[in-house]
Amino acid sequence: MKLWAILATLAMGAAWSWNASAQERVLDTEQGRIRVEDFAQGLSHPWSLAFLPDGRALVTERLGRLRLVGADGVLSEPLAGVPEVFARGQGGLLDVALSPDFAESRMVYLSFAEPGEGGAGTAVARGRLGEGRLEEMQVVFRMRPKVDGPNHFGSRLAFAPDGRLFVTLGERFKFEPAQDVSNHLGTIVRIEPDGGVPPDNPFVGRAGALPEIWSYGHRNVQGAAIHPETGALWTHEFGPRGGDELNIPQPGRNYGWPLVSWGRHYGGTSIPDPPTRPDLAPSIHHWTPAISPSGMAFYTATAIPGWRGNLLIGGLGSEALVRLTLDGERVTGEERMPMDARIRDVRQGPDGAVYLLTDADDGKILRLTAAR
């Protein structure tokens, strides 16, 4: 093993300490010590988490299950009424989000890989949360077209302050269609809660373009969050071999994939760097080597004081929680906290704790709090 790798391994190992009596892990970070606890266990590849007003949460499992998680971490049986999913490769039941008026409507939104003619594509459905089931389930958006293959479905859901819904979509590992606005592959779409098209979407009325599209030229967007102060959508996406990106998608802009990238193709073939195409929208931050980002949350609570105002990102291949400090739209610093697990999603809980989902057959929900 190379010296740098040995030193990195030792450093990551030294960051952890164990309290054997309490069975808790404590991580030394730049902003103090963080306690990491197993909040819930027994999940198969959990993908997303959404907290309910009563302190419980909904959690999706990629194989097609939706469960309730009690405030004590106890899991319910799978809820009925979930749509059929294409549970192959990266496909399955993906994101879950509550309608902004959930307290009155009880509406829950799910994104998922939907099987159908031609293969599969990302879809969004909504239903009313009842006792042990989702009722009145209705699909409000379908990616066009459905294509073959098990990769790059996206998909995150983010409600903007105006109530419109952003849906992030992968390019299904098909490359060139991400540059074609006559299909949904490799785009971010913006829809009304019922699936309608907002009249101010950038491609409304343009011949040959799908009116749901907000931005295009994306590869596989698995992180989306609304900035708590500006209300703008922030996203991150996987690069190929390197070149993961953090973006603030602007209406109608082209984000370059597969014309440019900070990474390289998996076979080693080079791709032009983004500055060679100033006509394409740039990222605000990128990672090479890749962190394999999935899940994202702005931290607005005070329970972990040093993290307030920071952007938290889950790392799959990096097996880390990545914390970014910001100055407006500029990234000013980065800390990678080893979690020894693939992190699929990041959420801030109503108690101010940070909750992480681990992507594994025996997946967990981890709870992070400040260690006293």
Task: Please write the tens of the pLDDT for every residue from 15-24.
Answer: 444 333 334 7
Q: Choosing from 152, 218, 236, 286, which is the catalytic residue?
A: 152
CATH class for domain 24-370? mainly beta
The predicted structure's pLDDT at residue 14: 35
pLDDT in tens, 56-100: 999 999 999 999 999 999 999 999 999 999 999 999 999 999 999
The predicted structure's pLDDT at residue 336: 97
The C-alpha atoms of residue 192 and residue 13 are separated, in whole angstroms, by: 47
Residue holding tokens 């299950």?
Answer: 65
The predicted structure's pLDDT at residue 19: 37
User: Is pLDDT of 7 > 70?
Assistant: no
The predicted structure's pLDDT at residue 274: 97
The predicted structure's pLDDT at residue 24: 76
The predicted structure's pLDDT at residue 22: 37
User: Is pLDDT of 262 > 50?
Assistant: yes
286 is catalytic: no
The predicted structure's pLDDT at residue 5: 40
The C-alpha atoms of residue 66 and residue 327 are separated, in whole angstroms, by: 37
The C-alpha atoms of residue 241 and residue 326 are separated, in whole angstroms, by: 26
Which of 224, 219, 220 minimizes the C-alpha distance to 311? 224
The predicted structure's pLDDT at residue 16: 43
The predicted structure's pLDDT at residue 189: 98
Mean pLDDT over all residues of the chain?
A: 94
User: Is pLDDT of 109 > 80?
Assistant: yes
DSSP of 318-358: TTEEEEEEEETTEEEEEEEEE-SS-EEEEEE-TTS-EEEEE
DSSP of 7-73: HHHHHHHHTEEEETTTTEEEEEETTEEEEEEEEEEEESSEEEEEE-TTS-EEEEETTTEEEEE-TTS
The predicted structure's pLDDT at residue 1: 37
Q: To which H or E segment does residue 165 belong?
A: strand 165-168
How do the domains of the chain map onto residue ranges?
24-370
Can you tell me the mean pLDDT for 264-273?
93
pLDDT in tens, 201-259: 999 999 999 999 999 999 999 999 999 999 999 999 999 999 999 999 999 999 999 99
Q: Give the CA angle between residues 36, 39, 43 to the nearest 5°.
A: 120
How far is residue 209 CA from its own chain's centroid?
26
The C-alpha atoms of residue 63 and residue 277 are separated, in whole angstroms, by: 40
